[in-house]
Amino acid sequence: MFRLQSYVMLITLILFSVKGVASQKESLLWCVDDIPVRHYYNEGKLKGTTVDFMQALAEKSGFALRYTQNTPFSRCLMQMQAGEADLMMALNKNDERSQYMHLFPVYKARSETLFTTTEGKQAFSQLGDIRDNTLATISGYLYNTSDLSLLQNHNQIISAYSVEGALAMLIRGKVDLVVAPHFSTLARIQSNPHFKNNIVTLPITLGQKTTRYVHLGISKQAKLPAEQVDTIRQALQTLKESGEAERLLFPAVVKSL
């Protein structure tokens, strides 16, 4: 009798263990880069609208979400290429990235913005005025504007490692203008009194030849099963079609300077 009871208890423990393992969600690592404005750290915890969106995507797709600390954008790309990270958010698409990432469109991209100092603003009223100047661009960032080649042909270009680095060069007089993502750069300016009091946007609209999108990236080198990739794609599509993606990502419009 004792041996029978022991056997029953053993089987029960095994069943509970199997159930526990089965109920554990696989965790995927989101490389949180230092460009988008819609995420931030508060007492070591990642918060923001992008975080709300990624958590909703994880829940709908059935995986647990882990994330890196604030990581330089170019390093995130290298981690995705090496399969050291599974996910990135807010990516522009090109052929090189498509080789090592699945890229699924999330929302329409907008063109970048030109930033200069309050003293230098008067010198620029139209795109044709921007000649023989020194411009800072962001290393690793894939630009949406179709006017970038025009700016590169008529100006000296310096590549900055980060948005903050480009803005610091502008303040120090190392460059005359910064060409950078609109919302994320505004956020950096507004959070830094020195930037806020000395840097402004130019009322010059940079062109876009075609409609482009901002994408969710899934590392191909992470070797996720095809079924899981498709599950994430379908979950993303559901969030978009229901309007939930837009509600989570853009609950309010960031005010311009």
Q: Looking at residue 19, what is its pLDDT?
A: 45
Q: Looking at residue 48, what is its pLDDT?
A: 86
Q: Looking at residue 42, what is its pLDDT?
A: 73
Q: Looking at residue 16, what is its pLDDT?
A: 47
For tokens 């949180």, name the residue: 32
Which domains, from first to last, does the chain contain? Answer: 25-109+212-249 (3.40.190.10), 113-201 (3.40.190.10)
Q: Looking at residue 256, what is its pLDDT?
A: 36
Return d(Cα 231, Cα 222) in angstroms, integer. 16
Q: Looking at residue 54, what is its pLDDT?
A: 97
User: In this structure, which amino acid lies at residue 252?
Assistant: A
Residue ranges in 87-214 assigned as alpha helix (H): 95-100, 148-154, 163-171, 182-191, 193-196
pLDDT digit string (tens) for the chain, length 257 residues: 545 555 545 455 554 444 444 446 799 999 998 765 677 777 778 888 899 999 999 999 999 999 998 888 889 999 999 999 999 999 989 999 999 999 999 988 888 999 999 998 888 989 989 999 999 999 888 898 889 999 999 999 999 988 999 999 999 999 999 999 887 788 789 888 999 999 999 999 998 877 889 999 999 999 999 999 999 999 999 999 999 998 898 875 333 34
Q: Looking at residue 14, what is its pLDDT?
A: 52
For tokens 């469109």, name the residue: 105
Return d(Cα 28, Cα 45) in angstroms, integer. 17
Q: Looking at residue 20, what is its pLDDT?
A: 45
Q: Are 217 and 80 in contact (CB under 8 A)?
A: yes
Q: Looking at residue 174, what is its pLDDT?
A: 96
User: Quick one: tokens of 119?
Assistant: 């003293």
Tell me, yes or no, if the pTM score tops 0.85. Answer: no
Nearest to 176 by CA among 115, 252, 246: 115
